[in-house]
Amino acid sequence: MGTSDDLSHTAAAFADDIAAQEALARDYQPELQGPLVGDKISSVAITEAYARADPVYIEKTSALPQTYSHYRPIQGDGNCGWRAIAFSYFEKLAEIQDQNLIQHEILRLISFNDALEKIGGYDAMLFDDMAEQTITLLKNLSANISSLSDSMALITAAFNDADTQSAIMYHMRLLAATTIKGNPEYEPFTGGLGLAGFCSQVIELPNREIDHLGIDALAAALLRPINMVLQIVYLDRSKGTQPNTHQIPADGDIKVANEAGRAIYLLFRPEHYDILYKGCIQVQINKVDVSYHNDNKFESAHNHLASFATFDFSQLAMIPGLSKFPSPAPSMPGKVPMSVGHGFMPMETNAWGADVGMSMAPSQKPPLVPVTLNGNAAVDAAATRTSNVIITISISDEL
């Protein structure tokens, strides 16, 4: 049996190892320079960036290009999650090239203004200009629907213009906040703030990164009405050689959505979201002798990100894809379908942990109750580790 000194040494070494692993997990620093939305880059760049990281990250990042050939970097200024979802929404509309669909979206989002006032409680004087930027971009897409390159140039320019994208981002926040306020089922997940308090203190704050309720609500307001499915790929230290994924809605068919050009993929690393694109690039890894060196230093790249160092990642499990949606009814001009996921499922371990346990008894799932606004707007309510590893990359892009 070891001495007390031996046990103390072992405990200290274990603590250092845990700290080193957590430092590594947070080692990725979101880009705070350059464009707000970048160009597509081969996902092999992510594999290369983690080539000297913890073996868990090496395996997971080497697996990434086998499913997602490219990624689009999003500036990590506190709006990256909101920006990634909104940009992907416009990008998918441009790729689908259905002018009737875009015209329908214009009418739908204009109709949503009624809900922003009556459910969200927002003054039209506050949001009119912001909503107009979203509508204007949709109109510009409609006018250039025959040219994907022209459409993408319009979207990229809008999202890299500080004033335009700022207005669109805040419009997205108001859409999500209104959806939350219209659905009492979100109440248990507001940390005691209440629906209105949560929206004012979390969702509505500029440069405050999107949280689990925000993702669920924005997807319900923006994506689900036109059958878009969101899948989030988590790059963390959980068990397995493949990154974990969460889908929203949970009962959506991601394969069908992908074939229809309506699947959105995001990559989540602690504190940051980028956009992923389906495709295959073969990556071969040749491992050699591995050694480890602990370095527990970690500094935030930006003041507003510092709070994530102590963020409770257990709440992340309640997000993406852990809600259930009923089958969407066809949307009609003049209607504001804001169907929201219900039955959030808690995670038994945090985002740095291993197994994810997801369960919720049927009795815990509140029913959805339709709410009507003047017969027009309907709402469905309710550390650093380093390793010597050589990576050989054989690229076979199957796009």
**Separation of alpha carbons 361 and 359, rounded Å:** 7
User: Phi first, then psi: what are they for 278, rounded to 5°?
Assistant: -65, 145
Q: DSSP letter at 260? A: T
Per-residue pLDDT, 32:
64
Given this model, what pLDDT does residue 30 score? 53
| Six-digit token string for 254 | 């991601």
**Which residues, 6+ apart, have CB-to-CB distance to 221 below 8 Å?**
112, 175, 176, 178, 179, 338
* Whether this model's pTM surpasses 0.85: no
pLDDT computed for residue 189 by the predictor: 94
Half-sphere exposure of 260 (CA within 13 A, CB side): 13
Would you state the pLDDT for residue 384? 34
For the stretch 233-251, pLDDT in tens is 998 888 888 889 999 998 8
Joined together, the tokens standing for residue 321 give 């894809």
Q: Which CATH architecture has domain 11-353+367-393?
A: Up-down Bundle (1.20)
Per-residue tokens: 136 = 């204007």
SS3 387: coil
Give percent of the chain above pLDDT 70.
Answer: 62
C-alpha distances (whole Å) from 55 to each of 23, 25, 174, 285 are: 14, 12, 41, 11
Q: Which positions of the chain have pLDDT values less than 50?
A: 2-4, 6-15, 17-26, 28, 282-399
DSSP 319: S
Spatial CA neighbour of 213 closest among 72, 331, 82 = 82
Domains of the chain, by residue range, sit at 11-353+367-393
The whole-angstrom distance between residue 301's C-alpha and the CA centroid of its chain comes to: 20
Cβ pair 46, 61 in contact under 8 A = yes
CA distance 152 to 144: 10
- The three-point CA angle 259-261-266 to 5° equals 105
Q: d(Cα 235, Cα 47) in Å, to the nearest integer?
A: 11
C-alpha distances out from residue 245 to 46, 52, 209, 240, 322, Å:
17, 24, 20, 12, 11
